[in-house]
């Protein structure tokens, strides 16, 4: 979308158990918006001056572009990661990146199933990063 950038935030997320790339992909998006200006601007509207100058009256009129770098990006469904965003027209770009760290996960092959409480498939931990851009029409 060719528009005016209002906010850009970065986030990081980690999935230590279960080896689910979508879990790792959604966490940096939440991290980018949760404690910061994006969540406040999108969800709670405490920046009336910004909204007024931007000419916004409806948060669903914003455009949110999400870029995520995660291990095994082909396993991330296009609709899942942006679902954590409360408002706006959302687009998602997923690419290979982030990091795979081998830890000491309790993999099902090493212990009986009833002793594998974290549903690990192996000892991998996924680290993902995201950039969340909020744009408004020019």
What digits encode the pLDDT tens for the residues 90-112?
899 999 999 999 876 555 555 55
Query: The domain that contains 121 carries what CATH number?
Result: 3.30.1330.20
d(CA 43, CA 34): 10
Closest C-alpha among 86, 108, 131, 95 to residue 21: 95
Whole-structure pTM over 0.85, yes or no?
Answer: no
Residue 108: the pLDDT is: 55
Closest C-alpha among 66, 88, 92 to residue 77: 92
pLDDT digits (tens, 9 = 90+) for 57-85: 787 888 889 999 999 999 888 777 677 78
Query: What domain count does the chain have?
Result: 1
Number of H helices and E strands in the chain, helices first, is 3, 5
**Averaged pLDDT of the chain:** 78
Q: Which residues form the domain of 104?
A: 3-137
Segment 106-133 shows an average pLDDT of 73
Supply 101's token pair: 């760290």
**What is the percent of the chain with per-residue pLDDT over 90, rounded to a whole number?**
17
For residue 28, what pLDDT band results from cuts at 50, 70 and 90? Answer: confident
Closest C-alpha among 75, 85, 78 to residue 124: 75
């Amino acid at each position: 979308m060719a528009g005016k950038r209002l906010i850009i935030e970065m986030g990081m997320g980690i999935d230590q158990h279960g080896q689910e790339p979508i879990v790792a992909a959604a966490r940096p998006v939440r991290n980018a918006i949760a404690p910061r200006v994006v969540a406040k601007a999108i969800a709670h509207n405490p920046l009336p001056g910004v909204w007024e100058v931007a000419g916004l009256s409806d948060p669903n009129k914003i455009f949110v572009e999400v870029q995520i770098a995660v291990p095994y990006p082909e396993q991330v469904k296009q609709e899942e990661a942006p679902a954590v965003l409360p408002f706006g027209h959302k687009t998602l770009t997923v690419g290979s990146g982030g990091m795979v760290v081998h830890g000491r996960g309790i993999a099902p092959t090493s212990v009986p199933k009833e002793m594998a409480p974290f549903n690990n498939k192996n000892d991998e931990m996924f680290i993902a990063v995201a950039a969340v851009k909020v744009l408004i029409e020019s």
